[in-house]
Structure 1
Amino acid sequence: MINNVKEIVEKVIADVKVKNPGQEEFHQTVEEVFTSLIPVLEKNPAYVDEKILERLVEPERQIMFRVPWIDDKGEIQINRGFRVQFNSAIGPYKGGLRFHPSVNLSIIKFLGFEQIFKNSLTGLPIGGGKGGSDFDPKGKSDREIMRFCQSFMTELYRHIGPDTDVPAGDIGVGGREIGYLYGQYKRIRNANNQGVLTGKGLTFGGSLARTEATGYGLVYFVEEMLKEAGKTIEGKRVVVSGSGNVAIYAVQKAQSLGAKVVAMSDSNGYIVDEEGIDVALIQQIKEVERKRIKEYVDRRQCAKYFEGKGIWNIKADVVLPCATQNDINLDDAKKIVENGTFAVGEGANMPCTNEAVEYFLEKGVLLAPAKAANAGGVATSALEMSQNSMRLAWTFEEVDKKLHDIMVNIFKDSRDAAKQYGFEGNYVVGANIAGFLKVADAMMAQGLV
């Protein structure tokens, strides 16, 4: 018998903090999602009776393993590998691998938990999972990265498969790393199961438009959100944090729709180009040469480089945080609002703290939440899986059209769910509710598993 749903939700959140000590990022995402679901639980008490929340926060499987490898000096190095298979109610586990020194169990669990709802929103049959390592690809030779990836896959291969768990890339894991990982998987399994990894090269089962998908999808969602408010991104001044895959292609798509992107960043600092970011130059520096963003100002005289943080001091109509989690805190949010920003699109996973999110919503800023707005990457990964299963390849235009349609549907589902439960215009709550309902109903239908 339910007495007070709010108290039940608060107890679940408190229990998560006790059972998972020190996992701050995981605590943060659970609190953000579950507090927004209270109206849904009040209308659907069966979700509470069946303890759907308690089951959702416990991964179906957590794998942590040693990754030994030899560097170019012949010295043995040891890293830690992770794969958290969170929820398979609607399909095989699907989520990226992140190679970065900050990676720990909390980061992987927060990403995997978010992935459950993000994947649900795509409308495609994929469950939630995430993985990675505290290995840092920066400064490593191609041979060192290959040896690490081979060692990583030598353990991971036994836990994944086209119908079980399909990893992809994330921070630190691009086409090069996916290629090495797939090569080792194929060698160990003696099988061309191309659908076991996504983000592959075009010569061995990759999909056109996959590289662009997360950034493009972000802008497609933001444009739908702006249209709903009677606005457009055309002619708007935009600031983008980050300079990786998501950021680069968000800039490219925004500028193709008539926006002017004036700033980008990396972990060392940020650039400002009042004439508009030269995407081709950024691609050359970051994707081909693998250098830092400060190189940009040496080749484009109108641009300026600033060491350290501070990109959110720059005035913009629209900001797109595409770097990493908790990129925008409450103080940053206040600066952004003060600068006249009316829309924020989350390209990274959880780039705004919960306090920043609340402040944006309180001030009437349009906010496109990550689990909806950056779902284009995993959606296109699922499209890559479909192409692999059918042994065919779609054109760039076909994939991009499917991606656009998926992002429009995600926006509509988030908008309609928010409206249905009395939160019109709050796409954060709307995305949480829409993503949750599909997963919860599937869990209920499959019994206590």
Structure 2
Amino acid sequence: MALNNAYLESVYEKVEKRNPGEKEFLQAVYEVLESLIPVVEKRPDLVEAGIIDRIVEPERQIIFRVPWVDDNGKVQVNRGFRVQFNSAIGPYKGGIRLHPSVCASVIKFLGFEQIFKNSLTGLPIGGGKGGSDFDPKGKSDGEVMRFCQSFMTELCKHIGADTDVPAGDIGTGAREIGYMFGQYKRIRNEFTGVLTGKGLSYGGSLARTEATGYGLCYYTSEMIKCMKNETFAGKTVVISGSGNVAIYATEKATELGGKVVALSDSNGYVYDPNGINLDVVKQIKEVERGRIKEYVNRVQGAEYHEGCSGIWTIKCDIALPCATQNEINEESAKALVANGVFAVAEGANMPSTPEAIAVFQNAGVLFGPAKAANAGGVATSALEMSQNSERLSWTFEEVDAKLKNIMTNIFHNSYNAAKEYGLEGNLVAGANIAGFLKVADAMKWQGIAY
């Protein structure tokens, strides 16, 4: 792959050399550098200050052992990660992912993306990410608690309300956040807003649970209104995943007049031509912690299909991938285009491959990238930080209104940045440029530490 810019080529070559085999991280870096070609041509001062050379290298990477004891009394060992990528505009902010796929490359890609996503919110938060290859699925509450306590025993040395504020992510919900917060408080003897996504009884924010899914729909609604003069009303929507993001994207898309006809999990997908019954999904996923295939046993007329990729062959107007990275490949993108999709917005982190994004853009499909479209979660986490700092609790309506305003601004800032740099309509480039420029200027003003 060629970046058609000698300076950016040299930066990427150094990243490749320092991070061999880290495909997810390299993919994320390449996409951003590609967007910055017109920026480096227009802003030589940023090249002179070495901003891009610095922004692709994490400020700090922490890898640690996480030993814990299972219900059989056997010692298990997992690996923990925290990448504190960039603090130019505020304390590190980013979730903790608990999933067997977690490795250095995945955490670095997520942390790198988080820099620009957090910048786009307009709030003073830097980029970071963490996690472990621990899998909470199939574990008892006791096993999850012992893992979380061990994980936080090490992590607490590196985080704080004004240093690094982790949140939830895949595998890390209210239960896990609660156990981690309890251990942090026990060790540090302080009650601070060190974690977000907390329960409402101990500092959590109303609307945080709904935030990423709602925010995705607010962004998508603004995108299709401004660029196509369209709305969700009467549109068929396909959403992948069936976790927190997918559930609340389904809720908001339905509220806005759309009909969501499909959801999925890591085993397969369900198709309900009458529209997904969200109450059934919430019972299966949030209460029973079951698999999505249970849906067809409770809703007449629904179909279950093994395998995840087939969900993108369902005819729809709007597609919202909310499962995991690289779930839409070139073939799936072509299927969506052939079936008439006119808008795709990413609820998961980097769910579309570069080849898939090219298919959408070449076909004139509106494409909202993850770092812009799914920023609602971290935006509301930052609002939770504000409430914790002020010892206040805002109403659901107050938080939701702030969230909608933030997502609307993210769209317009991305759209305007793309237009300013000669890439009108390219929201991928626009999000990267708008997010980068704020961080870059902060880094330039703060100088270089020798």
User: Aligning the two structures, in what range does the TM-score lie when normalised by the shorter sequence?
Assistant: over 0.9
Q: Which residue of 1 aligns with 2:266?
A: 267
Is residue 180 of structure 1 aligned with residue 179 of structure 2? yes
The Cα offsets for residues 387-438 of structure 1, whole Å up to 9 and x where unpaired, read as 0001010000000000000001111100110111111111111101000000
Q: Which residue of 1 aligns with 2:163?
A: 164
Query: Where in structure 1 are there 5+ consecutive unaligned residues?
Result: none
> Secondary structure of 2:438's partner?
helix
Tell me the CA shift for residue 219 of structure 1: 0.4
The Cα offsets for residues 95-132 of structure 1, whole Å up to 9 and x where unpaired, read as 00000000000000000000000000000000000000
- Matched to 2:64, the amino acid is F
The Cα offsets for residues 48-101 of structure 1, whole Å up to 9 and x where unpaired, read as 111111101110000000000000000000000000000000000000000000
- TM-score normalised by the chain length of structure 2: 0.98
Equivalents in 2 of 1:234, 1:47: separation in Å?
44
- Matched to 1:80, the amino acid is R
Tell me the CA shift for residue 189 of structure 1: 0.6
Equivalents in 2 of 1:434, 1:146: separation in Å?
40
Equivalents in 2 of 1:296, 1:129: separation in Å?
36
- Matched to 2:71, the amino acid is D
Q: Which residue of 1 aligns with 2:388?
A: 388
Equivalents in 2 of 1:131, 1:372: separation in Å?
20
Q: How does 1:22-61 map to 2 (within 5 A)?
A: 22-61=21-60
Q: Which residue of 1 aligns with 2:87?
A: 88
CA contact (8 A) 1:5 1:41 kept: no
Q: Which residue of 1 aligns with 2:423?
A: 423
Equivalents in 2 of 1:274, 1:231: separation in Å?
22
Equivalents in 2 of 1:28, 1:327: separation in Å?
14
The Cα offsets for residues 5-45 of structure 1, whole Å up to 9 and x where unpaired, read as 81111121121111101100000000001111110110000
Is residue 221 of structure 1 aligned with residue 219 of structure 2? yes
Is residue 307 of structure 1 aligned with residue 306 of structure 2? yes
Q: Which residue of 2 aligns with 1:379?
A: 379
Is residue 21 of structure 1 aligned with residue 20 of structure 2? yes
- Matched to 1:319, the amino acid is A
Q: How does 1:196-275 map to 2 (within 5 A)?
A: 196-228=194-226, 229-275=228-274
Is residue 127 of structure 1 aligned with residue 121 of structure 2? no
Equivalents in 1 of 2:12, 2:331: separation in Å?
26
Q: How does 1:331-410 map to 2 (within 5 A)?
A: 331-410=331-410
Q: Which residue of 2 aligns with 1:68?
A: 67
> Secondary structure of 2:319's partner?
strand
- Matched to 2:277, the amino acid is D
CA contact (8 A) 1:124 1:382 kept: yes
Q: Identity over the aligned pairs, expressed in percent?
A: 70
CA contact (8 A) 1:217 1:403 kept: yes
Equivalents in 2 of 1:359, 1:40: separation in Å?
24
Q: Which residue of 2 aligns with 1:190?
A: 189
RMSD: 0.8
> Secondary structure of 2:213's partner?
helix
Question: How many aligned residue pairs are there?
Answer: 445
Tell me the CA shift for residue 176 of structure 1: 0.3
The Cα offsets for residues 147-192 of structure 1, whole Å up to 9 and x where unpaired, read as 0000000000010000000000000000000000000000001111
CA contact (8 A) 1:81 1:134 kept: yes
> Secondary structure of 2:93's partner?
strand
- Matched to 1:115, the amino acid is Q
Q: Which residue of 1 aligns with 2:135?
A: 136
Q: Which residue of 2 aligns with 1:436?
A: 436
CA contact (8 A) 1:120 1:126 kept: yes
Equivalents in 2 of 1:363, 1:421: separation in Å?
22
Q: Which residue of 2 aligns with 1:115?
A: 114
Equivalents in 2 of 1:50, 1:331: separation in Å?
41
Large movers: runs of 4+ above 6 Å: none
Tell me the CA shift for residue 362 of structure 1: 1.0
- Matched to 1:434, the amino acid is A
Tell me the CA shift for residue 337 of structure 1: 0.6
Equivalents in 1 of 2:432, 2:99: separation in Å?
27
> Secondary structure of 1:145's partner?
helix
Equivalents in 2 of 1:337, 1:409: separation in Å?
28
> Secondary structure of 1:196's partner?
coil
- Matched to 1:329, the amino acid is N
CA contact (8 A) 1:209 1:399 kept: yes
Equivalents in 2 of 1:332, 1:25: separation in Å?
19
